[in-house]
């Protein structure tokens, strides 16, 4: 049994974390930290918790939250944790950061992608990248996890087996699609129902930080360099993320050969499913669960390989993977509290 604090508990990823942790038998939630709603009961903000969780949200007092528990989950917006994290605080607790502050970047890169100076860049090296299926051994030994971004998780899971085996050409295009929970709870015109419903758009076409993160992760975990071209799109749905990857095979491989590569890496992975040939990947089949579905087709002309992969952006792309990492860190079964079947409807 471990004690846990959640920072940023009233954001979408934070509230998912609280929801999933409710079903975890080895976790005792101590603090739900929310600057926006301090002193409100959690179930007055997220009324789905009526009858489940009526703890009062507390303010973001860094000294306090980093002292009285075994593990801190941080779902703070980028820029907040890096301003406040110190070696001293890190010594007292383990940390899983679901934010972007400690994922591969150096000072200049952080400035380029997030437009501000990183105040504790030297701490980055203490963080282990939490792509559960690919970094399991490191995660088990880690005290500090940088939990991957949602799009990055999806891209890495879809691409790493083939990249690691060296069968893909260097250049890969990824067209990403995500529902509106991926845009968070902050009010903007673009996420106002009447503006977002019944429409689709590409955004942040140039320089998305998940593109950078994915390139670095592939370099670190796949030991290859790639040239990645990633464009995200927003779709009028609640949750779910699909990526379509356009790549080229170095040499002709047939369907069965590709399939074997995926099986080599994923046959025993509980949360990754390679669908049967010809079966379309759809986000609804992974909704509300920690699953990733992958499939592909080979287009003989040009030796092209098209890979489609889907996750629930808030779960495998956030809160679910964070719990998976916690399970690994603390020696619990990897799937603990994550065995829910996707809801589909």
Catalytic residues: 150
Main-chain phi, psi angles of 155, to 5 degrees? -65, -45
Strand partners for 31: 5
State the CB neighbour count (10 A cutoff) for residue 152. Answer: 28
- The reply to whether 50 sits near a copy of itself by the rule CB under 8 A is yes
* CA angle in degrees (0–180, nearest 5) for 66-93-73: 70
Q: Which residue's CB is nearer to a copy of itself, number 110 or number 266?
A: 266
Is the CB of 201 or the CB of 260 nearer to a copy of itself? 201
Using alpha carbons, list the distances in angstroms from residue 235 to 149, 163, 198, 282: 18, 29, 8, 14
Length of the chain: 345
Q: Which stretch binds a copy of itself (CB under 8 A): 92-100, 113-121, 251-259, 286-294?
A: 286-294
Provide CB contacts within 8 A for 162, sequence distance 6+. 168, 247, 258, 261, 262, 305, 307
Binding mask 122-161 for a copy of itself (x = CB under 8 A): ----------------------------------------
Smallest separation, CB 101 to a copy of itself (Å): 24
Helix (H, G, I), strand (E, B) or coil at 326: helix
Q: Is 303 in the site for a copy of itself (CB under 8 A)?
A: no
* Cβ distance to a copy of itself smaller for residue 1 or 194: 194
> Taking CB under 8 A as the rule, does residue 280 contact a copy of itself?
yes
Minimum distance, C-beta of residue 147 to a copy of itself, in the bound complex (Å):
18
Q: Is 286 in the site for a copy of itself (CB under 8 A)?
A: yes
Which one among 109, 259, 304, 336 touches a copy of itself, defined by CB under 8 A? 304
Site string for a copy of itself, 211-250 (x = CB under 8 A): ----------------x-x-x-x-xxxxxx-x-x-x----
Write out the two tokens for 312.
């629930």
Q: Does position 36 bind a copy of itself by CB under 8 A? A: no
Among 52, 59, 63, 86, binds a copy of itself (CB under 8 A): 52
Rounded to whole angstroms, the Cα distance separating 19 from 282 reads: 24
Q: What's the longest Cα–Cα distance across the chain?
A: 61
- Binding a copy of itself by CB under 8 A: which of 39, 91, 198, 256? 198
Question: Is residue 338 within the footprint of a copy of itself (CB under 8 A)?
Answer: no
Query: Residue 74: which of 318, 274, 286 has the closest Cα?
Result: 318
């Amino acid at each position: 049994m471990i004690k846990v604090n959640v920072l940023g508990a009233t954001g979408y990823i934070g509230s998912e974390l609280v929801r999933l942790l409710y079903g975890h038998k080895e976790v005792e939630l101590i603090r739900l930290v929310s600057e926006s709603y301090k002193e409100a009961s959690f179930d007055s903000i997220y009324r789905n918790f009526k009858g489940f969780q009526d703890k009062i949200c507390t303010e973001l007092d860094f000294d306090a939250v980093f002292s009285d528990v075994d593990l801190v989950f941080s779902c703070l917006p980028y820029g907040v944790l890096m301003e406040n994290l110190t070696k001293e605080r890190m010594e007292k607790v383990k940390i899983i950061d679901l934010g972007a502050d400690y994922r591969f970047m150096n000072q200049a890169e952080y400035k380029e992608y997030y437009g501000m100076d990183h105040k504790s860049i030297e701490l980055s090296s203490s963080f282990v990248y939490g792509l559960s299926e690919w970094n399991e051994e490191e995660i088990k030994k880690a005290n500090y996890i940088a939990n991957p971004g949602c799009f990055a998780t999806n891209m890495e899971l879809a691409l790493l087996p083939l990249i690691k085996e060296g069968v893909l050409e260097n250049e890969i295009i990824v067209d990403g699609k995500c529902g509106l929970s991926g845009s968070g709870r902050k009010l903007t015109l673009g996420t106002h129902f009447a503006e977002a419903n019944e429409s689709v758009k590409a955004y942040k076409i140039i320089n998305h930080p998940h593109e950078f993160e994915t390139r670095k992760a592939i370099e670190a975990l796949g030991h290859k360099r790639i040239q990645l071209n990633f464009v995200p799109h927003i779709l009028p749905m609640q949750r779910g993320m699909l990526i379509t990857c356009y790549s080229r095979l170095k040499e002709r491989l047939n369907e069965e050969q590709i399939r074997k590569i995926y099986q080599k890496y994923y046959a025993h992975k509980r949360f990754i499913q390679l669908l049967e040939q010809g079966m379309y990947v759809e986000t609804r089949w992974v909704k509300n669960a920690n699953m990733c579905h992958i499939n592909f087709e080979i287009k003989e002309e040009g030796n092209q390989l098209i890979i489609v992969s889907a996750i629930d952006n808030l779960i495998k792309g956030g809160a679910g993977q964070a719990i998976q990492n916690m399970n690994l860190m603390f020696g619990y079964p990897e799937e603990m509290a994550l065995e829910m079947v996707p809801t589909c409807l």
